[in-house]
Amino acid sequence: MPELPEVETIRRAIEPAIVGTCITGIALLDPSIAGPEGPASLQSAIGSPVRAVLRRGKHLILLLERNRGVVLHLRMTGAILLAEPAAQARVRAILSFTNGVRLFFNDMRRLGTIRMYEDLKPLLVRLGPEPLDPDFSADMLAQSLSRHSIPIKAALLDQHIAAGIGNMYADEALHRAGIHPLKPANELSKEEVSRLFQSIRDVLTHAIECQGASVDTYWQPNGERGTAHDVFAVAHRRGAACPICGTSINRIMVRKRGAYFCPRCQPARQGTVATN
Residue 16 bears catalytic tag? no
Active-site position among 55, 56, 58, 115: 58
CB of 29 to DNA, least distance (A): 12
Give the C-alpha separation, 104 to 117, whole Å: 20
CB of 49 to DNA, least distance (A): 26
CB of 240 to DNA, least distance (A): 15
Residue 11 bears catalytic tag? no
CB nearer to DNA: give 57 or 129: 57
List residues near DNA by CB under 7 A.
1, 3, 32, 36, 57-59, 73, 75-76, 90, 108-111, 147-150, 154, 157, 159, 166-168, 253, 255-258
Give the C-alpha separation, 107 to 185, whole Å: 34
Give the C-alpha separation, 159 to 50, whole Å: 26
Active-site position among 68, 110, 201, 257: 257
| Burial zone of 147 (CB within 10 Å; 0-12 exposed, 13-18 middle, 19+ buried) | exposed
CB nearer to DNA: give 20 or 258: 258
Give the C-alpha separation, 124 to 229, whole Å: 29
Neighbouring C-beta atoms of residue 105, cutoff 10 Å? 25
CB nearer to DNA: give 76 or 138: 76
Name the phi and psi angles at 208, rounded to 5: -65, -40
CB nearer to DNA: give 66 or 109: 109
Residue 126 bears catalytic tag? no
CB of 109 to DNA, least distance (A): 4
CB of 76 to DNA, least distance (A): 4
CB nearer to DNA: give 97 or 228: 228
Active-site position among 2, 129, 151, 263: 2
Residue 183 bears catalytic tag? no
Smallest CA-to-CA distance from 149 within 176, 178, 188 is with: 188
- Cα four-point dihedral sign 259, 263, 266, 268: positive
Residue 31: C-alpha distances to residues 27, 37, 72, 113, 251 (Å): 9, 11, 14, 10, 37
List active site positions. 2-3, 58, 257
